[in-house]
Structures are given as C-alpha cells and as structure tokens.
Structure 1
Amino acid sequence: MEALEPAVNGAKATLNTDKKTTKEKEKAKRHLPALPSAVSAADMNNVEYSGLADRTAVEWSSLKNYEMFSLSPDGSFPMMKVSRSKAVRLADREVMMVGSGRCFRVSLSNHPNKTSPS
C-alpha cells in the first residue's frame, strides 16, 4: 500500500516552516517622551478659569468625547464624557457608567481670569 501525501484539490500541501511565530513578529516599540512634571506644588501658580454652562439641557448622546458637562444648570461639579458609555467626575476622577440622560454643556474660556504666583 502506498503512503499518500495530503492533497487539497489535487495540489500537494506544503508545510511552511519559515514563517515566524506571532511572538517573534512583535512590533517595534515607540519611544515617546514622558510628561514634564513640576518639582513641587511651590513651583506652580494658582489659576482660576471662567466657564459658561448652557441654559438648555442636551442629550447625553449629543455630547462628543472629551466634552465637559454638568448635571446642574449652574455648571457645578463638572464632568467629562470619555466614551459612549463613560464619564469622569473632574473633582475626584471617578469613572461613572452612563446609558442616557440629559446634561448641561460646560465650556471653559481660553484664557484664565486670574493668575497669582505662589
């Protein structure tokens, strides 16, 4: 009896042994610079920003990612939408799961109101 070689549609199957495994094909790591940091809080300035809060509530789904909002019309306790279903409270950086709802957009001005050197 003859030993038959595996065939697919009449063609001989060949083993491809020269391909690298996925571990060997790792992507080159990107070397990105680190964020600069202040040495201490004494090297920082106190800054106060002014902002505007919408008077009309908007739907959660209409906010873009990384847009600030508040649950109250006076703009207190600002939060930031970080994905379709998550928001972050800016006061304590706690992540909240969100499905739907209405909120008030908050816009910060481009320039701080007051800066005072420490």
Structure 2
Amino acid sequence: VQLQLLGASVAPARERHWRGGPQLMGPAVVLWPDFAPSLAELRKKLPAPECISIAADSSLELRGSGLILEHLDLQGALRVVAGPGVALRIRSVTVRNRGREFVALSDAEQDGEAPEELRIRGYR
C-alpha cells in the first residue's frame, strides 16, 4: 500500500485458497524498518516511485538504511540487504526469475508437524 501511495505500480491482490479458506494475496513486499521507518523516509529511498513496477506473484525485500532504489521492474523475487554503514544506490534493475512459490501445508504439517505460525496461515 505504501508503494502505491507514492505512485509505484504494484499488481493487485488475487484470491488464493489455503486449506479451504480464501485469502487475498498480492505481491509479497517487506520493507524493513531500517530501510524506511516512515512514509516520509520511504519517499527519500524511492526518488522516482513511478519507475517501480512489481508484478503479481513477485516478492520484494528491502533492508538497510543506506539503500536507495531508483528504478525496478520486478517479475519474480528480489532481496536486497545493505549492511550497516553501506551506501547502496540501485539506479536500474530488471528482475525476471521464478520467484518464491507459496505452498499449502500438508495434512501432517497442518496437524502439528509445522510451527504454529505456519499452521495459522496454512502455507509456507
């Protein structure tokens, strides 16, 4: 939602079914607090949000206070971690890969073999 507020193109959520229950799932986006703890800080980290495009079934993880992302075309999975004290400016990146697939838990996993946080959502 934050990316869309700034003008980025993020694919809309689609309905998926896990263990019989529907769930709206859009691209999986994780913006760590050290990357952008607020919308104002996110504006600084994405100077051209209209140049950010995230396709359905994609996943994006951004971490690090020194990270700036100018242009992204994502169809798949991308994880960027800028360690402490690292300044990383990504001027332009296009990602095309298989991404991360969310898989429904098996009956055995749902019945107790999987950790509780996975059983609650029904997939890994």
Normalising by structure 2, what TM-score? 0.19
Q: Which has the higher helix share?
A: 2
Higher relative contact order (CA 8 A, sep 6+): 1
Which is higher, the Rg of structure 1 or of structure 2? Answer: 1
Normalising by structure 1, what TM-score? 0.20
